């Protein structure tokens, strides 16, 4: 899965020489749209007088991972102009943020919303920040391992495809479970209380459901196609496989701005859209 340096690969057939332009375009779009939005989200998270809320620790770490990946785009552009071994390994190393950090932190956000809606007592017990910091430490360890696979050419092994297939499938199942569980809670009648209180709780549950559903759809669109084409690699025409791979990677890379835009929307920081 040597994807990040495809733009610097000069061994492509002549009829596919346009493919590196797709990689360049995806990194450029992700940098132009993703970097400023993620930096803005990071500033909003850390500039509060009370500090980062415990419920937004996963969002903070997800934002940091996206910023690091956006910055790797700048390294890619330099590497295309002045290719060196060090720069190539740096760019390849940062691919791990795309394939591991993004989906794992999105999954953590979903599980957190699931606990808040379906198991509020457990959620309150786990509210101290140390639990989330511990989870983030585990995720970052996995991210560094994934980055090492790519950065030191271990990602070229065919066995890595099955590792990522298992990772994406497991995360999709977890997020799907969270989404369906929250939906079932929304369908159940709530406990006694005033009409205003019931509506407030229902609105919070609906927001949690929308967040999980959006992440689920994003995961399916981003990662399911790449799993499918790698499983079909042996039966696909090599040229068709490369074209499909580059198109899928184009979508995955440039979608880095979606999550920060959704956060800004929820925070009411997009004046042209009414927050819900």
pLDDT in tens, 77-111: 888 888 888 888 888 888 888 888 999 999 999 89
Predicted confidence at residue 200, as pLDDT, reads 64
Chain centroid offset of residue 80 CA? 25
14-22 mean pLDDT? 75
Q: How many separate helices (H) and strands (E) can be counted in the chain?
A: 11, 0
Indicate the SS3 state at residue 122.
helix
* pLDDT at position 157: 59
Q: How far apart are CA 7 and CA 22, in angstroms?
A: 8
Mean pLDDT, residues 199-215: 79
pLDDT band at residue 158 under the 50/70/90 scheme: low
- pLDDT higher at 123 or 208: 123
Question: Is residue 193 assigned to a domain?
Answer: yes
Q: Reply yes or no on whether the pLDDT at 57 is more than 50.
A: yes
- DSSP conformation letters of 103-114: HHHHHHHHHHHH
User: Does the residue 6 lie in any domain?
Assistant: no
For the cut 70, the answer to whether the pLDDT of residue 191 exceeds it is no
Residues making up the chain, counted from first to last: 276
For residue 80, what is the domain's CATH number?
1.20.1070.10
Domain contains 62? yes
Q: Which pLDDT belongs to residue 87?
A: 85
pLDDT given for residue 66 in this prediction: 92
Question: Sign (positive/negative) of CA torsion 77, 219, 60, 132?
Answer: negative
Residue 276 has pLDDT above 50, yes or no: no
pLDDT at 272: 59
Tell me if 162 is assigned to some domain. Answer: yes
Does 236 map to a domain?
Answer: yes
The residue assigned the tokens 């009829």 is 15
Lowest model confidence (mean pLDDT) among 151-155, 184-188, 216-220, 250-254:
151-155
Q: Is the pLDDT higher at 246 or at 165?
A: 246
Is 8 a member of any domain? no
- Total count of domains within the chain: 1
Would the pLDDT of 26 be above 80? yes
Cα(123)–Cα(208) distance, integer angstroms: 14
Cα(9)–Cα(166) distance, integer angstroms:
28
- Supply the range of the domain harboring residue 143: 18-266
Tokens of 225: 């196609």
Tokens at 22, concatenated: 């797709």
Whole-Å CA distances, 253 to 55, 95, 110, 242, 276: 26, 10, 21, 16, 27
Residue 190: inside a domain, yes or no?
A: yes
Per-residue pLDDT averaged across 61-75, rounded?
A: 90
Residue in the block written with tokens 């809606």: 117
Look at residue 189 and tell me if it is in a domain.
Answer: yes
């Amino acid at each position: 899965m040597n994807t990040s340096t495809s733009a610097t690969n000069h061994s492509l057939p002549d009829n596919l020489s346009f493919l590196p332009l797709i990689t360049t375009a995806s990194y450029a779009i992700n940098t132009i749209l993703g970097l400023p939005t993620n930096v803005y989200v990071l500033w909003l998270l850390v500039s509060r007088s009370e500090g980062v809320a415990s419920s937004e620790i996963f969002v903070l770490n997800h934002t940091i991972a996206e910023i690091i990946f956006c910055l790797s785009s700048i390294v890619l552009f330099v590497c295309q102009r002045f290719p060196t071994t060090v720069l190539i390994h740096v760019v390849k190393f940062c691919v791990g943020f795309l394939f591991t950090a993004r989906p794992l932190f999105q999954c953590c956000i979903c599980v957190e919303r699931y606990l808040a809606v379906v198991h509020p007592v457990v959620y309150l017990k786990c509210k101290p920040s140390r639990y989330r910091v511990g989870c983030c430490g585990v995720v970052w360890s996995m991210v560094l391992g994934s980055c090492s696979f790519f950065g030191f050419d271990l990602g070229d092994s065919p066995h890595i495809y099955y590792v990522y297939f298992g990772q994406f499938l497991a995360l999709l199942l977890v997020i799907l479970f969270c989404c369906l569980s929250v939906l079932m809670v929304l369908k159940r009648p709530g406990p006694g209380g005033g009409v205003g209180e019931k509506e407030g709780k229902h609105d919070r549950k609906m927001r949690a459901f929308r967040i999980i559903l959006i992440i689920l759809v994003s995961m399916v669109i981003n990662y399911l196609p790449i799993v499918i084409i790698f499983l079909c690699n042996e039966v696909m025409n090599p040229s068709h496989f490369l074209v499909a791979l580059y198109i899928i990677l184009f979508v995955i890379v440039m979608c880095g701005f979606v999550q920060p835009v959704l956060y800004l929307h929820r925070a009411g920081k997009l004046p042209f859209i009414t927050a819900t």
